[in-house]
Structure 1
Amino acid sequence: MKEKKSFRVALLLSYLVLVAAGKGARTIQQWENTSQIPTYQQFKKTIMMEDGDIYDCIDVNLQPAFNHPLLKDHTIQMEPTSFPIGLNIKSSFPHVVSQAHLSIIECPRGMVPILRNGRRDQISAHFIDQAINKDAQLEEAGMKYFDDLYGVQATINVYEPKVKKDSGDLSQTGIQIDNGPKGHMDSINACYSVSPSFYGDTFARFHVGWRDGVQNKSCIDHDCPGFVQVSHNVGLGGRVKPVSVYNGPQYVIHILIFKDPKTHNWWLAYGKDKTPVGYWPSSLFTSLKDKGNFSYTGGRASGPTASSDSPQIGSGHFASEGYGKAAFIKDIQIIDNNNKLVTPNEEKAISGSSDLRKYTIGNYGVDDHGVHMYYGGPGNFV
């Protein structure tokens, strides 16, 4: 019970949308009330996607990240100085899977796409105020890892788990890296999530998030300053598609988070080609400035009713159903102090579920290509 409680505390740090009734949550509420459709004086192009998302293309040097006081004199790093060693190792996964894609926005080079907040503007300020001030509940199924680390990579099977529309809950799967004392941990993460209460739809969307443990503030995408985007065509907050079909075609996303050994910034790269999306400047952090000491890779359900009336995680089916039916994560590797991708030490890895009646882990294993597992379940959807 004590172990479960401490794990939930760690998971709380990556609660990206509701942010669990703290200062970070009120930051999101303030954005809703004061900037319903944010505009930028320097944007040169506006793009509407087929699903209704609207992106503004703005100068890379004028993006929201640089409104952060710690980044006032920051010089943008347009690409990593180097990548981790060992990225060319091919997986031994026996099944053929296709790559899902993030939202691609045709912004000119030298600009970055910023999603307008119109999706969340559909939700009344009253509802948001109610949702963010409730005690957050958390459920999970995945792998936590305790050791000094300088990055994590994983290949993640993408589904659109069912989440009740007006619950305020979300279901997400991704990578999280933390460091710091309890209650003041620095944290970074990247994931896909489904959150109908906040986006007005049931689509899988790609997000990045971070937490400043000293200020006790959390942020998602570009909703507050911090994450520096360099990609001119990846739309944060946009749809991931296509998604996997139960007993049908399977799609994955490849996520790599790693620390630049020279600049010490934390980079996010996406896809088989490890295309840089952007980075969290090391100056944002205190405990995470040099390295992480905890990572989590897996799925979780978060929100006001995530335990009492739980959403699905993954495909919504138990791990025992296997390939094509249960969601999987494979090729989980960490980056060591030599900037090398290595297989996690089994003695420092713990896999499991917060509630085996709702979610399970199966076919968990370790090989030369990293950790692999099936995970997820129906929650209270039966």
Structure 2
Amino acid sequence: MPRMEPSSFPFGFDIESSSLPEVSEAQLSIIDCPIGTVPILRNNVDNMAVQHAGSTLASNGEQFEEAGIKYWDDRLIYGTQASINVYAPYVNETSKDLSASWLQISNGPKDRPVGIGAGSWVFPSLSGDSHPRFHIKWDDEFQVKSCIDHSCQGFIQVSRRVGLGGRIHPVSVYNGKQYVINVSILKDPDTSNWWLSYGKENIGYWPKRNFRFMRHYGDYAYWGGFVQGPTASSNPPQMGSGHFASEGYGKAAYINNIRILNGENEFITPDIIRAFPGSSVPSKYTYYDVGGGDNGMHVLYGGPGGKR
């Protein structure tokens, strides 16, 4: 029988309420499944499209751009958590591109690291609509492919209330009300399984048997946005709010309350010296106001892409 929660919770696990004005927590659609069952959401597209989406993320030939914080730590990373500001960036429905607001932990060869991540995606060719949805992605090291939600075996869901791929609502409004999702990924020190939580809801875990490089820890983390797909560089979609990071809070997307789990099973603020903020294409996406404090690190990011 699968575990229903980690064997213990780290010190400082609860994400503090945002100190920013006009910020509330966005919600996933709640489903009350019978005991012994979990919600598996159907996509609005056929199975071939879902398989294509999974293979798309695994392909080295896909175009990819990003803006956010890359973080390397040789003291090792056993988890991360953050508040992700949720917008609905414009993505051309026929492009098969996606736009994500994301956190991730990785390990392995520098030229092809493997990892696990979660966050908000707008991915019309997968979902059949342009709504932000909560997705996970991880790399199957043994089958050498990337997996989305339940597209392949490897993620054990325990929540009867939250379905992967569920719509996130409400979403933030430019220069108006702001909404965030609170996401945590942590390694259970007793079982070595990697747990995923959405707010206070334990969604499920990746068993340690899934991994070789990620079996014990990560050495790299990422917080920010990315776009990926056949035209993500040549005709890039919006990222974040669709506005440049320098416009500031309430207008540009952000991730704050960023913390990492250390070897003492404590969530701490990342070391700013080990953080490398950047953008792969500054003319289309930018980052701004990277800093840290008692409540974690923060960064603003995003941009209009090719939509002017």
Q: TM-score, normalised by structure 2?
A: 0.93
Structure with the higher helix share, 1 or 2: 1
Corresponding residue number in structure 2 for 1:237: 165
Counterpart in the other structure of 1:340: 266
Cα drift, residue 247 of structure 1 = 1.3
Superposition deviation, residue 94 in structure 1? 3.3
Counting only pairs closer than 5 Å after superposition, residues 345-360 of structure 1 correspond to structure 2 as: 345-360=271-286
Q: Is the 8 A contact 2:82 2:182 kept in 1?
A: yes
Alignment match, 1:120: 45
User: Is contact 1:360–1:376 with CA below 8 Å preserved after alignment?
Assistant: yes
Contact between 1:102 and 1:241, CA under 8 Å: does it hold in 2?
A: yes
Match of 1:108 among 27, 34, 37: 34
1:250-296 Cα offsets, whole Å, 9 max, x none, are 1100001000010110001111xx22110000111011111011111
Which structure shows the higher strand fraction? 2
Q: Which amino acid aligns with 1:238?
A: G
Q: Select 2:103's aligned residue among 147, 151, 175.
A: 175
> What is residue 61 of structure 2 aligned with on the other side?
135
Secondary structure class of the residue paired with 2:226 = strand
Aligned equivalent of 1:377: 303
Larger Rg: 1
Q: Which one of 260, 275, 294 corresponds to residue 368 of structure 1?
A: 294
Instruction: Find the residue that maps to 2:172 and give its secondary structure.
Output: coil
Shift of the 88–217 alpha-carbon distance from structure 1 to 2, 3 Å rule, reads closer
Partners of 2:302 and 2:231 in 1: CA distance: 17
The offset of 1:321, in angstroms, is 1.1
**Cα pair 2:55 2:146 within 8 Å, conserved:** no
Matched AA of 2:38? V
Q: Percent identity?
A: 53
Pair 232,349 (structure 1): closer, same or farther in 2 beyond 3 Å: same
**Aligned match of 2:229:** 303
Gap runs ≥5 in structure 2: none
Higher relative contact order (CA 8 A, sep 6+): 2
Matched, 1:330 2:269: no
Q: What residue is the counterpart of 1:161 in the other structure?
A: 89
- Superposed displacement of residue 327, structure 1: 0.8
SS at match of 1:253: strand
Deviation at residue 350 of structure 1 after TM alignment: 0.5
Cα offsets for 1:92-133 (capped at 9, x unmatched) = 73324111011211212321011124x121877998799787
Q: Report if aligned partners of 1:183, 1:213 keep a CA contact under 8 Å in 2.
A: no
In structure 1, list runs of 5 or more residues that go unmatched. 1-74
Off by >6 Å, runs of 4+ in structure 1: 122-134
The aligned counterpart of 2:211 is 285
- C-alpha change, 1:196 and 1:89, in structure 2 (3 Å) is closer
Question: How far 1:347 sits from its partner (Å)?
Answer: 1.5
Residues 154-233 of structure 1: pairs in structure 2 closer than 5 A: 154-182=82-110, 185-233=113-161
Q: Which amino acid counterpart does residue 269 of structure 2 have in structure 1? A: T
Equivalent position to 1:256, from 170, 184, 187: 184
- Tell me the equivalent position of 2:220: 294
- 1:266 aligns to what? 194
Contact kept? 2:141, 2:210, Cα under 8 Å: no
Contact kept, 8 Å, 1:184 with 1:214, in 2: the verdict is no
Distance 2:262 2:184 in 1: 14
Q: Measured at CA, do residues 217 and 93 of structure 1 come closer, stay the same or move farther in structure 2, by a change above 3 Å?
A: same
So what's the TM-score if we normalise by structure 1? Answer: 0.75
CA deviation after TM superposition for structure 1 residue 339, in Å: 0.5
CA RMSD of aligned residues (A): 2.3
AA matched with 2:210: L
Q: Distance in 1 between matches of 2:55 and 2:95?
A: 11
